[in-house]
Amino acid sequence: MSTTIATSPARPGSPARPGSPATTDLRATAASLVTGGRGILAADESPGTMSRRLEGVGVEPTEEHRRAYRELLVTGEGLAGRISGVILCDETLRQQLADGRPFPRALADAGLQAGIKVDTGTTALDGPDDGETLTEGLDGLAERVAEYVALGATFAKWRAVLHLGAGRPSVRALDANAEALARYARVCQDGGLVPIVEPEVLSAGGHRLEVCAAGTARTLATLGRALDAAGVDPAAMVLKPNMVTSGEGSRQPADPYEVARATVDTLRATMRPELAGVAFLSGGQSSETAAANLAAIRRRGGPWPLTFSFGRALVSPALAAWAGDPGRVDAGRSALRREVDRNVPAA
């Protein structure tokens, strides 16, 4: 199966902005998030989403149960050897472990960095683009970034959602979401946080791999131009894209070799070589499929570190194993460790 990517070639590098906070410290932080084979744990579900997942395993959806579950995730022994940082939501960043330590301090004590989701969710895109969305959260972002830095966060995340289908993603959706991602990234770098930039092309549907490749290429090329226009330092940010895969309902599912080739070729055609690294989202794939595709992508290689920033693919088994039982905390930690280990290269 061949994949043709119709987009512009990768752009030449440019120096960091003079006088910008995106200098040595931010670049070092960004590099530390993606090097050494370690990944980033996405535990940033909103209270509403997390409550629904708790209910799904028979746990009362209280603030304390959300806190206890997040504590289980971040306190496993040896996690720092496999995970570089944990993305939290606003609620968790402000909570404390049972021993009284704030979550950011506990993460730092364990050798992990604390991240924070700063977008406020999606809204319908105004106009004729039925079903397409724009991610919000720019209002007051600079002030929130300053507060999150004071609370101990070192990096942030913003997710844009793009849809595949007839005429999708539309130019309006691409431009609007790319501009928002770029503005977010610039505000974070100016405020002292490393931005994780997440443009997710959803895998819903029965499309072939080539359709996802074309949509992802358009998304990343538009994003790259917006990042350049905003003056974002690529060496002080991490890209969190989808893998290029067949649709969830495709009759011709792509194998890991095909996914790796299409994914890396798309990234090479659209992203700057100075980018600190790429941490893929799992995009609803099973943990086994996501791990197999990631391993193939790493074998294909690129000019940047290639790693993972998975959420459900890592934490769902831990939630099911724990199910709110204090006596099963170790079982939950073991389930998380097993899933993380799938995605960490052998030493």
CA dist., res. 332 & res. 314, Å (int): 11
Whether 274 and 66 have beta carbons less than 8 Å apart is answered as no
For 166, other C-beta atoms within 10 Å of its C-beta total 4
For 315, other C-beta atoms within 10 Å of its C-beta total 24
- Residues 6+ positions from 160 with CB-CB distance below 8 Å: 134, 135, 177, 178, 180, 181, 198, 199, 200
- Residues 6+ positions from 273 with CB-CB distance below 8 Å: 10, 13, 303, 304
* Backbone phi and psi for residue 98, each to the nearest 5 degrees, phi listed first: -60, -25
CA dist., res. 55 & res. 292, Å (int): 30
How big is the chain, counted in residues? 347
Q: Is 117 a catalytic residue?
A: no
DSSP string, 274-329: T--EEEE--TT--HHHHHHHHHHHHHH--SS-EEE--SHHHHHHHHHHHTT-GGGH
Residue 160: in which H helix or E strand, if any? strand 155-162
| CA proximity to 86, closest of 330, 324, 318 | 318
> Which residue of the set 240, 298, 300, 312 is catalytic?
240
Task: Tell me whether strands 39-43 and 83-88 are parallel, antiparallel or unpaired.
Answer: parallel
Residues with catalytic roles = 240
